[in-house]
Amino acid sequence: MPDEDPPMTEPSPTIEPPPAAFDPIAVAADIARRIGVKVVRNQPLARLTTLRVGGPADLYVVARNAFELRALVRYARSRNLPHVLLGRGSNVVVADRGIRGLVVAVRAEGSRIEGDRYSAEAGVPMARAATETSAAGLAGLEFGLAIPGTVGGAVWANAGAHGSDVASVLVSATVLAADGREVQLGPTELGLGYRTSRLKVPVGPDDVTPAGLGAAPVPVVLSATFQLRADDPAAIRARLDEIRRWRREHQPLGLPSAGSVFRNPPGDAAGRLIEAAGCKGWQVGGARVSERHANFIVTERGARAADVRALAERIRAAVAERFGIRLEYEVVFLGDWAEAPEPVDPSLPGPAAGSEADR
């Protein structure tokens, strides 16, 4: 990794302090007039996330192509409007109080294959990238079948599974830099590491990812290009089938979850530590530690984000007490977590009645 920051982190013009409040009606009308997209006020976000919890967005808009995505991000930046990009809603826990400002759902899904390279816009689901490239006889993105998010989110987090990750196949990503330029950045310039990159905003002391309010603009992935290799289509299909089989046997598919809650610590697996600490089956309110994979939290109808977070904190405390290891979150906490309500069940969690097979 270079000692100096890449171009996307060059100093940008001074940003004025954010207003104490904004007029959502006026902003929605202005976005519709300038960019030509529909803006929804107080959009419920729970059904738009894989965990199925969380409150509303002040403003919600869908970017259906790269032009709209660029325009919306530039609009929000120029007005210091807090904004969050949402892919397929995996890997996030949205606060029960929702998200202040603008939520942009990234649905820019253009893609193309040129020789042994695959280029995709930020909103292309990684599972689709895996199947599109396999159909063309190109190997290297099979792991994407196990990634529930989009290309943009996968680059942002250096997502990976089944022994591979984005860094191993990425040629470059087109990024809308903090200063407004579009730049091409390779894996080294992006600082891709284990489930991280330089695009990630440091979380606060409360583990909440800020929405850019009063801070420097956050670089945004617009598209990415991957270097693949030709292979026997039958062999590629066999690897995809194996990934499907493994997921069915080891993950709580069909139940609401955000994916892996914690990152694996060096030399170990978060799921093993959580299970060894006796946390399988623990439940707070409508959130439960999966009995199939201990690093997954699944939710029931009526669950709240506060339940998920309280349970995750208790898991982290149990692992720290048993093994002296502080687990780091892989999920991202988004939104207004101020004055979060107390969990439904304030008692210490313990084995809950029933099992996932009963539901």
What does the block give as tokens for 125? 């689901």
Is 340 within the bounds of a domain? yes
3 assigned to some structural domain: no
Q: Say if 164 falls within a structural domain.
A: yes
Distance between first and last Cα of the chain: 47
Q: How many CA atoms lie within 13 A of 347 on its CB side?
A: 6
Q: Which helix (H) or strand (E) holds 172?
A: strand 170-176
Same domain, 212 and 268: no
pLDDT 10s digits, 227-266 = 999 999 999 999 999 999 999 999 999 999 999 999 999 9
By residue range, what is the domain housing residue 50? 22-230
In a domain, 10, yes or no: no
Give the three-state DSSP class for 106: strand
Which residue blocks in 11-125 are alpha helix, DSSP H? 24-35, 66-78
List the CATH number of the domain containing 111.
Answer: 3.30.465.10
CB atoms within 10 A of CB 50: 17
Domains held by the chain: number: 2
Q: Does the structure show a pLDDT above 60 at 340? A: no
Place of tokens 């689709």: 128
Question: What's residue 216's pLDDT?
Answer: 59
194 and 303 within one domain: no
Q: Which tens digits make up the pLDDT trace of 22-52?
A: 899 999 999 999 999 999 999 999 999 999 9
Backbone angles phi, psi at 86, to 5 degrees: -125, 125
Sign (positive/negative) of CA torsion 279, 283, 289, 292? positive
For 57, the 3-state DSSP assignment is strand
Instruction: Name residue, tokens 């598919």.
Output: 253
**Is residue 346 over pLDDT 90?**
no
pLDDT digits (tens, 9 = 90+) for 175-210: 999 888 999 999 999 999 999 999 987 677 777 776
Catalytic residues: 195, 260, 330
